[in-house]
Amino acid sequence: MADQDHLGEFEIIARYFAPLATESAALALRDDAAVLVVAEGYELIATCDTLVEGVHFLPGDPPDSIGYKALAVNLSDLAAKGARGHVYLLALTVPRDTPPSWFEAFAAGLRELQQETGISLVGGDTTASPGPLTITITALGLVRHGHAVLRHGAKKGDRLFVSGTIGDAALGLRLLKDPALARGWDLSDQDAAFLIDRYRRPKPRTELVIPVRNFAQSAIDVSDGLVGDVEKLARVSRVGVVIEAGNLPFSPAAQKALAREPALLASLLTGGDDYEIVAAVPDASVAAFAAEAKGKGVPVTAIGRISGSGGAVTVMGPGGEALTLDRTGYAHF
Ligand code: ADP
Ligand code: MG
Positive/negative CA dihedral, 208, 43, 232, 67: positive
135 pocket-lining for ligand 1 (C-beta < 6 Å): no
Please report which ligand is nearest the Cα atom of 92. Answer: 1
Q: What is the DSSP letter of 322?
A: B
What pLDDT is attached to residue 2?
46
Tell me if residue 196 falls in helix, strand or coil. helix
What pLDDT is attached to residue 311?
85
Task: Determine the atom of ligand 1 nearest the C-alpha atom of 10.
Answer: 6
Task: Determine the atom of ligand 1 nearest the C-alpha atom of 34.
Answer: 14
Please report which ligand is nearest the Cα atom of 15. Answer: 1
* CA distances from residue 228 to 152, 225, 245, 272, 277 in whole angstroms, order as listed: 15, 5, 15, 9, 13
Q: How far apart are CA 198 and CA 185, in angstroms?
A: 17
Neighbours of 2 (CB within 10 A): 6
50 pocket-lining for ligand 1 (C-beta < 6 Å): no
- Residues near ion ligand 2 (Cβ under 5 Å): 125
pLDDT tens over the chain, length 333 residues: 444 567 899 999 999 999 999 999 999 999 999 999 999 999 999 999 999 999 999 998 999 999 999 999 999 999 999 999 999 999 999 999 999 999 999 999 999 999 999 999 999 999 999 999 999 999 999 999 999 999 999 999 999 999 999 999 999 999 999 999 999 999 999 999 999 999 999 999 999 999 999 999 999 999 999 999 999 999 999 999 999 999 999 999 999 999 999 999 999 999 999 999 999 999 999 999 999 999 999 999 999 999 988 889 999 997 889 999 988 888 878
What pLDDT is attached to residue 308?
85
Phi-psi region for residue 134, left (φ > 0), alpha (ψ -120 to 50) or beta?
beta
Report which of 54, 58, 49 is spatially closest to residue 76, judged by C-alpha positions: 49
Q: How far apart are CA 280 and CA 37, in angstroms?
A: 33
Q: How far apart are CA 316 and CA 304, in angstroms?
A: 9
For β-strands 300-306 and 159-163, DSSP reports them as antiparallel
67 pocket-lining for ligand 1 (C-beta < 6 Å): no
Q: How far apart are CA 62 and CA 55, in angstroms?
A: 15
